[in-house]
Structure formats: C-alpha cells, structure tokens
Amino acid sequence: MPQTHVQRADRARSLGHASQDTAAELKAATAARLRAAHRAGRRRARLVTCVLVLVLLALLVASVLLGGVRRIPAGDILPAAFGMRTGLADYVIFRIRMPRALAALLAGALFGLSGALYQRLVRNPLATPDMIGISAGAGAGATTVLLFAPAVPFGTSLAGIGGAFVLVAAVLALSRRGGGVDTYRLVLVGIGLSAVCTAYVNYLFTVAGQHGIAQVMRWLVGSVNDATWEGVSTLAGALAVCGLCTALLGRSLGSMALGDQLALGLGTRVGAARIATLLVGAAAAALATSVTGPIGFVSLISGPIAVRLVGTDRSVALAVPIGAVIVLGADVLAQHGPVISPVPTGVLTALLGAPYFVWLILRRRQGATP
C-alpha cells in the first residue's frame, strides 16, 4: 500500500533522530580519542622529563667527580658541593667544579628556551636567536671590551648583553611594517645586521694584539671554563625570569601556532605577543651568552629534539632540560673525553650540532617535519 503523508513524516523524523544519534556518537568518540591522546601525551612528557632529570643528575655527578678526587676524603665531597667544607675540598669542588657544572646546565637551559621560542614564533625548525644576530651583537660588544677595556669589572658580560639588545632593537625597528613586525623581513634584517657585526669583529682582529685575539677567540667559541658563582647567579635569575615570562606567553604562543588570522580571531594580540616573544628569547640568549660566550647550535637543535620527543605543544618547556643536557654533556666530554679533551665546550656542541643542522635542512627540502 502507498505510504500516507503521516507515515512519510514519521519515517523522516526517525531518520533524522538516527542521524542525530550517529553524529552525537561520532562527536563523543572523537572527544574521547582526543582526551586519550592528550593523556598519553602528558604521560609521555612526564616520562621524558624524568629521564632528562636523571641524566642531568648523572652528568652533574660526573662533572664534579671526574678529574680526580683521590686527595679529598669521600665524606667531604657532598658537603663541599654545598660550601660546607674548607681547604682543598672547598677549592676544588665548590669554587671550581660546581660553578662550571651549574653554569653549563643553566646556560644550556637558556639557549634551549630561546631557540624553542624563536622556532615556535617563526614556525620553522631552523630558526634560532642567531638568525636575528643576537650572538653576533653580543660578540661585537664583548669583543670591544675585551680588546680595549679588559679591566672593567663585569665589562664583558655587560657589553655582551648591551650589544645583543642594541641589535635586537635595530632589527625590530627595521622589521616593522603596517603597525606590526613582519617575520620574513625580521629574518632578512637579522641576517644583514649579523653580517655587519661579524665584519666589525673581523676588523677589530686586524688592529688587536696577539694576546687580545687569543682571549677574544676563547670567548667567541663558547666555554664555561672560567665560570664563577656570580655567573651562576646571573644565569639562575635569567632562567627564572625568562621561564616565568614564557609561561605567561604560553596561551599566545599556542594560538599563534595556528596562524595569525586564527590567533586574532581567538583574541590574541599578535603584534604585542610576537614582540614579547622576541624580547624574551633575546634576553635568554643574551644573558647566557654574556656568561659563557655563544655556545653554538644548542638553540638550534634543542627545539626539534623536543618536538620529536613530545610533540609541538610541549616542545618549548622540554627544550629547557634538553639544552641543559646538551651543554653539560658536551662540557663533560670537553673536559674528560678520550682523544679530544681538553677543548672549549662550544667546539663540541658545534661538532655535534652541525651534522644535525645538515640533516634538518635535508628533511626540510624533502618536505618532512623535524
């Protein structure tokens, strides 16, 4: 028998209810999968963080104990690490080895943080603070003081910080377009000003004496050999402040990762957030450089390693311990590695980082993610 209008309407309503039920089930299943993926990512991040902390503790112990402690009683080693002994134990452990180990750890953390911030901002795994000339600006300032006013207290560190921030200010001023900072122009201007700073340093080399050149070269390569507790305090304060600022910028960084238009739609002040991220990354790199010199490739490789371990969302936070592991591990090898030691820490990070940099470029050329 042919269906009446009432029967057809009932059938349409039942089909509509069925489709609504199916859509609700799909929505619930998708939400459940997203929650499960989020929980799995969080567990993975906690596991990786715990492993990195254990590696850092092992490297700290190795940095303090390797090199000979036979003349120091075993019971004095741990108290001496906290400044609770005098004599040989205090001099070797507390005044030489602990500042060096902690400076390497903290500087690596700052370099890792700065690199991850710039890579998230530019959305490019090859982006680093060096791209806009922070290391070049710091090197120009520090080289000037080392050659012409080496006796000025804290002159090298202050000149390095000043040079980095002067260059960052110039890059920001020259990169503005349409009321905001253009990322593409930022990179190009940074490369150009970095070349200017490098040329200035090379000119200074031509008018400096041999002793001054040797001192400058040790600083430009990057080393924690002359680390002091004052430098450790500077690095610790810098990490605390930059870490807090990064946490405050976390929501803006997450929205900007979706693109500027979506970020604006979500209520993010993209221009202000971009400038704030640039300044925080510059501060982290400049303060680390002012104490240890520009230890190369750490800011480049920490972020991509973090992305591969825990994904993009948590990469900025994880780049901090990864950078610390890289620099502290490189310093232990620089001091005690067979055949190669002793060398400046920056030499080893360059040897390890350059092949990884080439690999990243090849993957980018093939269209792969880092």
pLDDT per residue as tens digits for the range 92-133: 888 888 999 999 999 999 999 999 998 888 777 777 887 778
Specify the pLDDT at position 23.
64
Specify the pLDDT at position 275.
82
CA distances from 87 to 66, 83, 91, 92, 95 (A): 19, 11, 6, 9, 11
More confident residue, 144 or 176: 144
Residue 355 half-sphere exposure toward CB, CA atoms < 13 A = 3
CA angle, residues 44, 47, 49, in degrees to nearest 5: 110
Q: Do residues 285 and 112 touch, judged by C-beta distance below 8 A?
A: no
More confident residue, 160 or 112: 112
Specify the pLDDT at position 369.
46
d(CA 280, CA 368): 29
According to DSSP, residue 132 is labeled: G
d(CA 347, CA 111): 16
Q: What is the mean pLDDT of residues 225-239?
A: 89
